[in-house]
């Protein structure tokens, strides 16, 4: 996929994505009619023609990054997921919206999918970036009533029209003359950018600096047409009044601890409140002596509010800004086995307002401390000048010292009880490289070191002692 240019090489388009994601392509050996081969030919021809200035180029760069990183992650399932998302989700949708030889369209419908609020906002962001500049992006955020995640307001309530002003470029389906999309509108469900997908979001922060900056600028330019309604904008302006150049505002987006939140992190863990506090302190320590120091805490974690109030009490050198009356939970898992998240229970419209207000306030800050989350990505894209500080280490600082004196008993020998095997990894986290496995019935000798439910085994590597116990406790930090 490269051509020689004066002794150096340069990538031609994005044809290399088909090599990186080869395992997700149709099998041409089982293709008697040539359908699979023709599909691959169309993909290749299209990708070869995408130039850096094309509107879809930032997404293809992000896909390339996710594919390359997941291949060397030591986590085969992550690489498989990246391939499937690239070939099965991103590429067909991008081609439908951007291919110069595909039929024209006058409007695109972004219908909500059953996920959280900002997963759906990012879907609209994709539509605004990728759809033709003359097309209208029509948003259908009128829920039916049986959703498990998108539960904001009563069935039939037009949430988009409540949160965002009308514009010719982007408005609610309910604002159409007939109350429905016009004939011929392209329906585009779900997000498109691979690094907006749950398991790949952490690759946003690790994009090469130039590619990340280009991605952020592209989205910021595309979404300038969006304006919050006065009920949102007025409250954001009131909170951020006075945040001028003399103020160093650090935004912190702390997600609560649940198994699902931890599982959606590339690091496979939810950092503790102490880690967020330490990073915020470090950033503010670089402020000049005469600067006013503000931390804006946006969180759905009730425990984080308590921890930050203790760390930054009233009258101290740092002002803590955290909105009252916002619905939060303690995380963990409910009695019915469902993650204890705000949007996993019926929500009022006010919960969607609160989330958007928090997110917009974060965009007014100088720095953002965050993890892999849709809301944090929204803030990063909306304000390309926001300095990003993702807490994405697979293990927290000091874990090696803690492993020398584990809180749980570490026995010298274990017997593998789980069938068919238990994996051996390079570090005490599921985000580390897979080294091998020990089969059921095998005896395993340990070094005596342990950390967070893992034990170090003789000969190298770490094994998880009780997977079910760890799932129940994931993210509680």
Per-chain mean pLDDT for the chain: 93
Mean pLDDT of the 445-459 span: 96
User: And the tokens for 463?
Assistant: 């094994």
For residue 1, pLDDT beyond 50: no
Instruction: Choose the weakest-confidence range: 126-130, 148-152, 165-169, 368-372.
Output: 148-152
Give per-residue pLDDT as tens, 322-381: 999 999 988 888 888 888 787 777 788 999 999 999 999 999 999 999 999 999 999 999
Mean pLDDT of the 290-294 span: 94
pLDDT band at 276 (very low <50, low <70, confident <90, very high): very high
User: And the tokens for 284?
Assistant: 């503010």
Length of the chain: 477
Mean pLDDT of the 75-100 span: 96
Number of alpha carbons in the 13 Å side-chain half-sphere of residue 390: 23
Mean pLDDT of the 390-404 span: 94
Give per-residue pLDDT as tens, 168-196: 999 999 999 888 999 999 999 999 999 99
Q: Which residue has the tokens 């309604």?
A: 229
Report the share of the chain in percent with pLDDT over 90: 84
Number of alpha carbons in the 13 Å side-chain half-sphere of residue 124: 25
In three-state secondary structure terms, 59 is helix
Q: What are residue 251's phi and psi, to 5 degrees?
A: -90, 140
pLDDT band at 12 (very low <50, low <70, confident <90, very high): low
Mean pLDDT of the 47-59 span: 97
Cβ atoms of residues 456 and 450 within 8 Å:
yes
The DSSP code sequence of 224-259 is: TT--B-HHHHHHHHHHHTT-STTEEEEEEEE----H
Q: What CA–CA distances, in Å, run from 26 to 22, 91, 97, 152, 417?
A: 9, 13, 22, 39, 38
**Can you give the pLDDT at residue 330?**
86
Nearest to 3 by CA among 13, 57, 210: 13
- pTM for the model stands at 0.90
Mean pLDDT of the 286-312 span: 95
Mean pLDDT of the 249-257 span: 96
Task: Name the maximum alpha-carbon separation found in the chain.
Answer: 75
In three-state secondary structure terms, 117 is helix
Mean pLDDT of the 443-458 span: 96
Cβ atoms of residues 390 and 205 within 8 Å:
yes
**Can you give the pLDDT at residue 100?**
94
**Can you give the pLDDT at residue 10?**
45
Please state, in angstroms and rounded to a whole number, the distance separating the CA atoms of residues 347 and 350. Answer: 8
Say if strands 186-187 and 2-5 run parallel, antiparallel, or are unpaired: unpaired
């Amino acid at each position: 996929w490269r051509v020689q240019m004066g002794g150096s090489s340069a990538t031609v388009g994005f044809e290399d994505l088909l090599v990186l994601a080869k395992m997700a392509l149709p099998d041409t050996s089982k293709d008697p009619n040539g359908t699979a081969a023709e599909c691959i030919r169309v993909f290749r021809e299209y990708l070869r023609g995408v130039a850096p200035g094309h509107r879809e180029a930032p997404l293809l760069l992000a896909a390339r990054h996710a594919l390359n990183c997941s291949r060397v992650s030591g986590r085969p399932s992550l690489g498989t997921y990246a391939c499937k998302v690239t070939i099965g989700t991103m590429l067909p949708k991008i081609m439908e919206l951007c291919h110069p030889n595909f039929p024209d369209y006058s409007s695109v419908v972004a219908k909500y999918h059953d996920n959280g609020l900002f997963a759906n906002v990012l879907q609209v962001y994709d539509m605004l970036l990728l759809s033709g500049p003359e097309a209208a992006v029509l948003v259908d955020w009128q829920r039916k009533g049986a959703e498990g995640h998108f539960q904001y307001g009563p069935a039939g309530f037009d949430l988009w029209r409540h949160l965002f002003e009308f514009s010719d470029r982007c408005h609610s389906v309910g604002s159409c003359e007939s109350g429905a999309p016009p004939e011929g509108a392209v329906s585009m469900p779900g997000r498109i950018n691979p690094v907006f997908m749950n398991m790949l979001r952490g690759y946003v922060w690790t994009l090469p600096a130039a590619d990340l900056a280009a991605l952020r600028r592209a989205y910021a330019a595309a979404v300038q047409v969006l304006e919050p309604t006065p009920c949102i904008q007025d409250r954001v302006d009131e909170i951020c009044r006075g945040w001028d150049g003399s103020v160093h505002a650090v935004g912190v987006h702390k997600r609560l601890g649940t198994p699902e939140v931890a599982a959606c992190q590339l690091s496979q863990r939810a950092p503790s409140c102490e880690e967020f506090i330490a990073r915020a302190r470090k950033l503010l320590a670089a402020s000049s002596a005469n600067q006013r120091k503000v931390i804006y805490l946006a969180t759905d974690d009730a425990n984080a509010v308590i921890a930050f109030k203790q760390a930054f009490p009233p009258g101290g050198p740092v002002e803590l800004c955290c909105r009252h009356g916002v619905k939060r939970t303690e995380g963990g898992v409910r009695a019915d086995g469902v993650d204890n998240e705000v949007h996993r229970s019926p929500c009022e419209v006010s919960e969607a307002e609160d989330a958007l207000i928090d997110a917009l306030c974060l965009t007014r800050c100088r720095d953002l401390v965050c993890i892999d989350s849709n809301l944090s990505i929204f803030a990063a894209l909306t304000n390309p000048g926001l300095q990003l500080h993702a807490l994405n280490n697979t293990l927290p600082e000091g874990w090696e010292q803690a492993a020398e004196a584990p809180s749980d008993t570490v026995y010298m020998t274990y017997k593998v009880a789980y069938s068919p095997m238990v994996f051996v990894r390079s570090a005490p986290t599921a985000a580390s490289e897979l080294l091998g496995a020990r089969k059921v019935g095998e005896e395993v000798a340990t070094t005596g070191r342990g950390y967070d439910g893992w034990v170090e085994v003789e000969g190298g590597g770490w094994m998880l002692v009780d997977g079910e116990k760890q799932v129940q406790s994931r993210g509680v930090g």
